[in-house]
Structures are given as structure tokens and as C-alpha cells.
Amino acid sequence: MLAIAELRYHCVLHQMRTRDVEQSFLLQFAYRLHKEIHVTLGAMPKTLKDSLSDPIELEYVSIANQKLEEILDELRRERRLQDRYLGEARAQRKRALKVWRNLSDRENKNSRNEPNYNQ
């Protein structure tokens, strides 16, 4: 039971490391998209007196903003799931260690090789 818990715990840690690499790619993409949105918005006229905004640019910003929100939501969801899996693996590992300690304590108390100081 302890070996299985240890294996699961280390598998979750490994998955978190590999997911971090994947998520860093998504974060870089999200950062570039965010920067591009700001550049596009910065190039638009500030007031109606200047001129009207290009409807194609407005549509582009709207779609890019929706895509950015989707990416960030996906990253948040993945992080919450990873934290949950890690918490479950830690709890299982802790329970297995507790059971193992209880079993080994009982074996040591009943062992003939242990010195008995209570005689």
C-alpha cells in the first residue's frame, strides 16, 4: 500500500512538471495575444472627433479577447486539477505511512529480539 501511494505521489509530481512546460507555452501565447490586443487598441482613435474605429479591428479585438479568456480559464482549471490530484496523493501517502508505522510498531513490540526493559 505504501509503495503504491509513493508511486502515485511521484507520478503526480512528474505530471505537474511536464504540465508546467506545456502551460508555459500557453502562457507565452496568452501574453503575446494580450500584448497584441493592447497594441491594436492603442492604435485606435481615442475619441469620435479623431475618426471612427475600424469595425474589422474591433471584431478582431473582441475575438482575441474571448480567446484570451478561454486560454486563461483552461490554465486555471488545469492548475486546480493538478493541485487537487497532488493533495489527494499526499493524503493517500500520509494514510499509508500511518498504517505502515502502526504495523511496524506492533511488530517491534512483539519481537523476541527486542530487549524487554519492563521485567
pLDDT at 101: 85
CA distances from 50 to 43, 44, 68 (A): 12, 9, 29
Give the domain ranges of the chain.
2-45+53-94
pTM above 0.75, yes or no: no
**CA 52 to mean position of chain CA atoms:** 43
pLDDT tens column, 18-61: 887 777 888 888 899 999 988 888 877 776 666 777 788 888 88
Is pLDDT above 60 for 97?
A: yes
